[in-house]
Amino acid sequence: MNAIEIKNLFKTYKNGTEAVRDVNLMVAKGDFFALLGANGAGKTTIISILIGLVNKTSGAVKIFGHDIDTEFDKAKRLIGVVPQEFNFNMFEKVQDIVATQAGFFGIDRANAVNNSEEVLKKVGLWEKRISMARTLSGGMKRRLMIARALVHKPKVLILDEPTAGVDVQLRFGMWDYLRELNAKGVTILLTTHYLEEVQQMCRNAAIIKEGNIICLDSVRNLNKLITQETYVIAVKKMQSLSGIEVYKPIKVDEYTLEVDLNRDEQLNGLLIKLINNGFDITDVHPKGQRLERLFLSLL
Ligand SMILES: Nc1ncnc2c1ncn2[C@@H]1O[C@H](COP(=O)(O)OP(=O)(O)OP(=O)(O)O)[C@@H](O)[C@H]1O
Ligand SMILES: [Mg+2]
């Protein structure tokens, strides 16, 4: 069963912008899927169509088999959405924000309060339940958005750039939390500009360019398309590069070298060569921009 099925989707806005052009996309139940693309590629438009905020021009969308044209209410109940911008009432109390949302899905007050307790505990905001939303930190506000999206127990969680403008620490925390939700069976679709996010969390990804999907594959396969990796090598003290010139090393500073290796070249060979040339290596790690390069080459 597919959680999300998008067939021949088109969207042309009133001003003539063709934001989505013949998108076909299946997100399997339990998947962790990323929609990647540059600014204006059409990511938010697709999400907005899924949740009924934007009317499609043509095409078909199904959520767990429910067509959004004929069974919109059923489809909508299955979706939790975390928009990019905070859009709750800053002067409302945390638990009220979450419980009220449950009410929009027809959940009675007692259950709404129960569910809100459950999700607030899950996101670590239970202690803040009677605080006014505006007194939360940025990271807490983001978690509140997620709690609100989960209060009606959706089967698909859709997040539009969940970590935009979020600090590194918080981002890692969110990754853990989203992974945990996914492991519990929630299908996740997110949009992001951060390729690292995709590599760390997602199983499958589609790259969108000008409203078109130009690449759709498993993250593992996308990674394979990249033939080079940059390694960052930390050394105690810089030595002459003359003995390792075949590797075309780049001296970043007195303690750091960067070297590109092709897929078939061995890191060990490079390290041995460095040691033989008097380098005292203190750390080696991949620069982690492999998908980034592929992405840029496709755009
Ligand atoms: N309400 C609207 N009216 C007219 N054009 C719109 C509207 N919303 C979006 N667009 C246009 O549709 C295209 C796709 O926009 P969309 O917001 O879907 O992109 P995005 O991939 O989410 O970009 P970003 O990464 O910047 O959030 C853009 O050219 C945008 O200007
Ligand atoms: Mg967007």
- Cβ pair 159, 169 in contact under 8 A: no
- Give CA–CA dist 2/65, Å, rounded: 7
Q: Which of 10, 42, 38 is nearest to 23 (CA)?
A: 10
The residue contributing the CA closest to ligand 1 atom 2 is 13
Which pLDDT score, from 0 to 100, does residue 1 have?
Answer: 86
Instruction: Please tell me the CATH superfamily of domain 2-224, with its number.
Output: P-loop containing nucleotide triphosphate hydrolases (3.40.50.300)
Chain centre to alpha carbon of residue 213: 17
* HSE of 174, CA atoms in CB hemisphere, 13 A: 27
Taking the CA of residue 38 as reference, the ligand 1 atom at the shortest distance is: 25
Which pLDDT score, from 0 to 100, does residue 166 have?
Answer: 67
Protein residues with C-beta less than 5 angstroms from the ion ligand 2: 43-44
Q: How far is CA 51 from CA 46, 73, 79, 169, 218, in A?
A: 9, 10, 7, 30, 25
Is the model more confident about 292 or about 157? 157
Mean pLDDT of 181-200: 87
Least confident of 58-62, 160-164, 165-169, 192-196: 165-169
Least confident of 141-155, 158-172, 252-266: 158-172
Distance 84 CA to ligand 1 centre (A): 13
Mean pLDDT of 190-196: 80
| Cα dihedral 262/266/268/274 (nearest 10) | -50
Which pLDDT score, from 0 to 100, does residue 227 have?
Answer: 67
Q: How far is CA 270 from CA 128, 172, 247, 275, in A?
A: 53, 32, 8, 9
Residue 4 has pLDDT above 80, yes or no: yes
Residue 194's pLDDT band (cuts 50, 70, 90): confident
Instruction: Give Cβ neighbours of residue 253 (< 8 Å, ≥ 6 apart).
Output: none
Is the model more confident about 122 or about 72? 72
Residue 110 has pLDDT above 80, yes or no: yes
* HSE of 40, CA atoms in CB hemisphere, 13 A: 5
DSSP state of 116: H
Distance 86 CA to ligand 2 centre (A): 14
Taking the CA of residue 193 as reference, the ligand 1 atom at the shortest distance is: 25
Residue 37 has pLDDT above 90, yes or no: no
Q: Is the dihedral of CA 75, 65, 30, 164 positive or negative?
A: negative
Residue 290 has pLDDT above 90, yes or no: no
Residue 55 has pLDDT above 90, yes or no: yes
- Cβ pair 259, 286 in contact under 8 A: no
The residue contributing the CA closest to ligand 1 atom 3 is 13
Residue 253 has pLDDT above 90, yes or no: yes
Is the model more confident about 20 or about 286? 20
Which pLDDT score, from 0 to 100, does residue 291 have?
Answer: 62
- 213 SS3 class: strand
Looking at the chain, the whole-number percentage of residues with pLDDT higher than 70 is 93
Instruction: Provide the whole-model pTM.
Output: 0.79
Taking the CA of residue 41 as reference, the ligand 1 atom at the shortest distance is: 21
Residue 200's pLDDT band (cuts 50, 70, 90): confident
- Give CA–CA dist 119/105, Å, rounded: 16
Distance 39 CA to ligand 2 centre (A): 7
Instruction: Please tell me the CATH superfamily of domain 228-298, with its number.
Output: Alpha-L RNA-binding motif (3.30.70.1560)
- 253 SS3 class: strand
Ligand 1 shell residues, CB under 6 Å: 13, 15, 17, 19, 37, 39-45
- Give CA–CA dist 17/9, Å, rounded: 14
Least confident of 61-65, 139-143, 276-280: 139-143
Mean pLDDT value across the chain = 90
If one residue of 12, 17, 81 were mutated to test the ligand 1 pocket, choosing by the most ligand atoms within 8 A of its CB, it would be 17
Ranges of each domain in the chain: 2-224, 228-298
Which pLDDT score, from 0 to 100, does residue 5 have?
Answer: 97
In the block, tokens 């390694």 appear at 231
- Give CA–CA dist 124/92, Å, rounded: 18
- Cβ pair 161, 84 in contact under 8 A: yes
